[in-house]
Amino acid sequence: MAIIGGAAAVALSGAVIAGTALAGQPAKGDGAQNARTLADPGTISCPDVASGLPAVPASAKAEVDRNLALLQTQIQEANTRLKNTVGQGGPNFVNNAILGPLKDKRVSTIDRIAIAIGRKGTKPAGLDALAACTLTK
């Protein structure tokens, strides 16, 4: 009985090794597309929020500047994630895992900018239209 169990374990581990060795291999006929994707994942491009702002009151300038810097950091992080996840996920991976969450972060940051301006002046409207980003190749 022990010999049969041992033989089954050896056969099973061989299947696991073979399956692991084949994992991550591109499907046949998919090589050119994969090579193109792996070579250049593209970059994230977002609208410039600073140019869409009205005059910023002096008392809000530091907070607005911090949030504008945060918007740039968010774009840099998204570009890093784009490069680090090349070849992962399906056809909607970039939209669902990178662009969607980036838009959500940008909406919050842009809202904080509008609130900061609105404390001492007129709160700008329509800035959320600047939140969505795209993938450019």
Q: What is the pLDDT of residues 68-124, one digit of tens each?
A: 999 999 999 999 999 999 988 888 999 999 999 999 999 999 999 999 999 988 999
27 φ, ψ to 5°? -65, 150
Distance CA 43, CA 135 (A): 6
Express as a percent the part of the chain with pLDDT over 90.
Answer: 64
Which residues neighbour 87 within 8 Å (Cβ) at sequence distance 6 or greater? 34, 37, 38
Structure tokens at 122: 């007129």
**Residues 8-26: what's their mean pLDDT?**
42
pLDDT band at 137 (very low <50, low <70, confident <90, very high): confident
pLDDT of residue 16: 40
Distance CA 46, CA 42 (A): 13
Distance CA 77, CA 91 (A): 21
Average pLDDT over the chain, rounded to an integer: 81
**Residues 35-43: what's their mean pLDDT?**
66
- As beta bridge partners, residue 45 has 134
- Residue whose structure tokens are 């022990």: 2
Which residues neighbour 11 within 8 Å (Cβ) at sequence distance 6 or greater? none
Question: Quick check: 18 pLDDT over 50?
Answer: no
Q: What is the DSSP letter of 92?
A: T
Which of 16-20, 37-41, 101-105 has the least mean pLDDT? 16-20
Q: What is the DSSP letter of 94?
A: I
Domains in the chain: boundaries: 1-39, 41-136
